[in-house]
């Protein structure tokens, strides 16, 4: 499987390579390349994510209805109280990017709870499930 992304400077390609029970990714940028194992890919994703967090323009604050997103079906999640504030820490697992944690203030957590309850009720009503 080969995918590519073109920038004005160089061509970047990724290639999935399966070898003797393991797999790697060959990353090519221009004339340079690296073969990355799972740990390398995880480290690269983490580093790129940290860099992206400070780049401008920032990631949009709202979901775009014009963009197609990868949707994680029934993701793993974990929640716990924040040890130093009145926040809830919510971790969500993306099979590609890994775990992401979010500290949600109490008021935001209550809005999230109420919003999820409304959507759940709407799905139950649409499907004719008992209340």
39-85: pLDDT as tens digits: 999 999 999 999 999 999 999 999 999 999 999 999 999 999 999 99
Together in a domain, 85 and 44: no
How, if at all, do strands 98-105 and 87-94 pair? antiparallel
- Give counts: helices (H), strands (E), the chain: 2, 7
- Specify if 21 maps to a domain: yes
Write down the pLDDT at residue 129: 56
- Specify if 57 maps to a domain: no
Cα dihedral 57, 59, 65, 69 sign: positive
- Specify if 71 maps to a domain: no
Q: Is the pTM of this model over 0.85?
A: no
- Specify if 83 maps to a domain: yes
Q: How many domains does the chain have?
A: 2
Together in a domain, 82 and 121: yes
Together in a domain, 6 and 47: yes
Residue 105 has pLDDT above 70, yes or no: yes
Looking at per-residue confidence, does 130 or 80 come out higher?
80
Together in a domain, 47 and 88: no
| Domain housing 96 | 77-127
Write down the pLDDT at residue 1: 40
Q: Where are the beta strands (DSSP E) in 9-118?
A: 11-19, 22-29, 32-36, 77-81, 87-94, 98-105
CA atoms of 67 and 121, how far apart (whole Å): 27
Residue-wise over 74-89: b if at least 16 C-beta within 10 A, else e?
A: eeeeeeeeeeeeebbe
CA atoms of 115 and 121, how far apart (whole Å): 10
CA atoms of 54 and 13, how far apart (whole Å): 24
- Specify if 81 maps to a domain: yes
Together in a domain, 81 and 120: yes
CA atoms of 107 and 113, how far apart (whole Å): 10
Distance of CA 18 to the CA centre of its chain: 24
- Specify if 63 maps to a domain: no
**pLDDT tens, position by position, 1-44:** 444 445 555 799 999 999 888 899 999 999 999 999 999 999 99
Residue 124 has pLDDT above 80, yes or no: no
């Amino acid at each position: 499987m080969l995918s590519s992304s073109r920038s004005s400077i160089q061509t970047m390609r990724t290639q999935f390579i399966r070898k003797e029970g393991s797999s790697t990714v060959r990353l090519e940028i221009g004339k340079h390349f690296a073969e990355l194992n799972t740990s390398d890919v995880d480290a690269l994703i983490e580093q790129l994510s940290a860099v992206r967090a400070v780049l401008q323009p920032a990631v949009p604050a709202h979901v775009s209805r014009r963009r197609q997103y990868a949707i994680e079906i029934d993701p793993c999640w974990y929640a716990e109280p924040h040890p130093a504030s009145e926040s809830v820490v919510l971790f969500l697992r993306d099979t590609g990017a890994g775990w992401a944690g979010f500290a949600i203030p109490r008021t935001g957590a209550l809005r999230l709870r109420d919003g999820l309850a409304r959507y759940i009720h709407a799905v139950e009503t649409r499907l004719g499930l008992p209340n």
